Structure 1
Amino acid sequence: MSTIKTIACLIALICAVPVLAQEKDRVVSGQVRLRSEVDGRGVLNDETVLVHQIRSRIRATLKPLQNISIVAEVQDSRWWGQSDPSLGRGTLDANSEGFDMHQAWAQIDSVLGVPINLRAGRQEMTYGNERLIGVSNWSNTGRSFDAARFMYASESLNLDLFASRIAASTLGPTESQNFYGLWGTVKSGKELTVDLFGLRDDNTTEITRGVDTGLAVLERYTAGTFVRMNFDPIDVELEGAIQTGNVASNDSAVRKKINAFMASITAGVTLLADTKTRLYLLGTVLSGDGGTGAGDEVAENFSTLFGTNHRFYGQLDYVPDLGGTLGLVDLSAGITSTPLKNLRVVLEGHQLKPQRVIDSTFGTEVDLTMFWRQSTAFELSGGVGVFMPGPVLTTRLNGDDTRFWVYISGQFDL
Structure 2
Amino acid sequence: MSLTQPGSRPGGRLRHVAGAVLVVTLGLDGTAALAQTSASRPSYESHRFKEDWSPLRDPALRTDPFDPLKWIPLSGDGSAYLTLGGELRARYESSLDPVFGLGPLRRNDYALLRSFLFADLHLGPNARTFLELASGFAPGWAGEPPPTQKDLLDILQAFGELSLTTVHGEIMLRGGRQEMSFGSSRLVSVRESPNIRRAFDGVRAAWIGGGDTRIDVFLVRPVAPQLGIFNDSADQAQLFWGAYATTAIPAVPGLKTDLYYLALERDKARFAQGVATERRHTLGTRLFGQHSGFDWNVEAAYQFGSFGTAEIRAWTVSANVGYTFAHLPFSPRVGLNADAISGDGNLRDNRLGTFNPMFPKLPYFSEANLAAPANLLDLQPNLSLSLTPKLTVTLGWNPLWKQAEADAFYAPPLSPVRGTASGTGRFIGQQTSAAFEWGATEHLTIGGTYVHYTPGKRLKQAGGRAGDFVAGWAQFTF
Shorter-chain TM-score bucket reads 0.7 to 0.9
Q: Contact 1:20–1:64 at 8 Å: present in 2 too?
A: no
Structure 2 CA distance for aligned equivalents of residues 359 and 233 of structure 1:
39
More relative contact order, 1 or 2 (CA 8 Å, 6+ apart): 2
In structure 2, runs of 5+ residues without a counterpart are 1-14, 25-68, 145-149, 225-233, 269-275, 406-423
Matched, 1:364 2:427: no
Residues 129-148 of structure 1 aligned to structure 2 (within 5 Å): 129-148=184-203
3-state SS in 2 of match to 1:394: helix
TM-superposed deviation, 1:63: 0.7
Residues 178-189 of structure 1 aligned to structure 2 (within 5 Å): 178-188=239-249
Instruction: From 135, 138, 148, give the equivalent of 1:79.
Output: 138
Structure 2 CA distance for aligned equivalents of residues 146 and 116 of structure 1:
20
Residues 230-245 of structure 1 aligned to structure 2 (within 5 Å): 230-245=290-305
Matched, 1:302 2:350: no
Matched, 1:262 2:316: yes
Structure 2 CA distance for aligned equivalents of residues 219 and 268 of structure 1:
36
Report percent identity of matched pairs.
24
Structure 1 CA distance for aligned equivalents of residues 448 and 110 of structure 2:
14
TM-superposed deviation, 1:237: 2.3
Cα distance change on mapping 1:245 and 1:112 into 2, 3 Å = same
Q: Contact 2:73–2:81 at 8 Å: present in 1 too?
A: no
Q: Which amino acid in structure 2 is aligned with residue 316 of structure 1?
A: A
Number of residue pairs matched by the alignment: 367
Residues 27-176 of structure 1 aligned to structure 2 (within 5 Å): 27-43=83-99, 46-80=105-139, 97-110=151-164, 115-156=170-211, 157-166=213-222, 176=237
TM-superposed deviation, 1:383: 0.7
Q: Which amino acid in structure 2 is aligned with residue 308 of structure 1?
A: K
Structure 2 CA distance for aligned equivalents of residues 120 and 382 of structure 1:
37
TM-superposed deviation, 1:97: 4.4
TM-superposed deviation, 1:360: 2.9
CA-based RMSD of the aligned residues comes to 3.1
Q: Which amino acid in structure 2 is aligned with residue 67 of structure 1?
A: N
Structure 2 CA distance for aligned equivalents of residues 230 and 6 of structure 1:
44
Q: Which residue of 1 aligns with 2:470?
A: 406
Q: Contact 1:194–1:226 at 8 Å: present in 2 too?
A: yes
Instruction: From 201, 207, 210, give the equivalent of 2:264.
Output: 201
Structure 1 CA distance for aligned equivalents of residues 386 and 156 of structure 2:
33
Structure 2 CA distance for aligned equivalents of residues 167 and 369 of structure 1:
31
Cα distance change on mapping 1:276 and 1:136 into 2, 3 Å = farther
Cα deviation digits, residues 106-134 of structure 1 (max 9, x gap): 11111788621111111111110000001
Q: Contact 1:155–1:187 at 8 Å: present in 2 too?
A: no
3-state SS in 2 of match to 1:242: strand
Structure 1 CA distance for aligned equivalents of residues 137 and 129 of structure 2:
27
Matched, 1:221 2:274: no
Q: Contact 1:131–1:309 at 8 Å: present in 2 too?
A: no
3-state SS in 2 of match to 1:7: coil
Structure 2 CA distance for aligned equivalents of residues 237 and 276 of structure 1:
20
Structure 2 CA distance for aligned equivalents of residues 197 and 260 of structure 1:
16
Cα distance change on mapping 1:268 and 1:405 into 2, 3 Å = same
Structure 2 CA distance for aligned equivalents of residues 234 and 73 of structure 1:
38
Q: Which amino acid in structure 2 is aligned with residue 198 of structure 1?
A: Y
Residues 329-340 of structure 1 aligned to structure 2 (within 5 Å): 329-340=377-388
Structure 1 CA distance for aligned equivalents of residues 203 and 399 of structure 2:
40
Cα deviation digits, residues 148-201 of structure 1 (max 9, x gap): 111111232110011112379xxxx9x752111100011135510000000111
Q: Contact 1:385–1:404 at 8 Å: present in 2 too?
A: yes
Structure 1 CA distance for aligned equivalents of residues 194 and 355 of structure 2:
22
Query: TM-score, with normalisation over the residues of structure 2?
Result: 0.70
3-state SS in 2 of match to 1:25: strand
Structure 2 CA distance for aligned equivalents of residues 350 and 136 of structure 1:
21
Structure 2 CA distance for aligned equivalents of residues 160 and 30 of structure 1:
26
Structure 1 CA distance for aligned equivalents of residues 371 and 390 of structure 2:
31
TM-superposed deviation, 1:10: 12
TM-superposed deviation, 1:229: 4.0
3-state SS in 2 of match to 1:356: coil
Structure 2 CA distance for aligned equivalents of residues 36 and 23 of structure 1:
42
Matched, 1:291 2:352: no
Structure 2 CA distance for aligned equivalents of residues 360 and 136 of structure 1:
28
Q: Contact 2:401–2:427 at 8 Å: present in 1 too?
A: yes
Q: Contact 1:41–1:316 at 8 Å: present in 2 too?
A: no
In structure 1, runs of 5+ residues without a counterpart are 86-95, 206-215, 249-254
Query: TM-score, with normalisation over the residues of structure 1?
Result: 0.80
Cα distance change on mapping 1:80 and 1:167 into 2, 3 Å = closer
| Runs of 4 or more consecutive aligned structure 1 residues displaced over 6 Å after TM superposition | 111-114
Q: Contact 2:181–2:188 at 8 Å: present in 1 too?
A: yes
Q: Which residue of 1 aligns with 2:398?
A: 350
Structure 2 CA distance for aligned equivalents of residues 243 and 69 of structure 1:
36
TM-superposed deviation, 1:45: 5.3
Q: Contact 2:80–2:124 at 8 Å: present in 1 too?
A: no
Larger mean CA deviation between 378-387 and 183-192 belongs to 183-192
Structure 1 CA distance for aligned equivalents of residues 117 and 401 of structure 2:
42
Q: Contact 1:336–1:345 at 8 Å: present in 2 too?
A: yes
Structure 2 CA distance for aligned equivalents of residues 30 and 122 of structure 1:
17
Cα deviation digits, residues 235-289 of structure 1 (max 9, x gap): 23221000000013xxxxxx21000000112321112356342101122111001
Cα distance change on mapping 1:276 and 1:121 into 2, 3 Å = farther
Q: Which amino acid in structure 1 is aligned with residue 358 of structure 2?
A: L
TM-superposed deviation, 1:373: 1.0
3-state SS in 1 of match to 2:360: coil
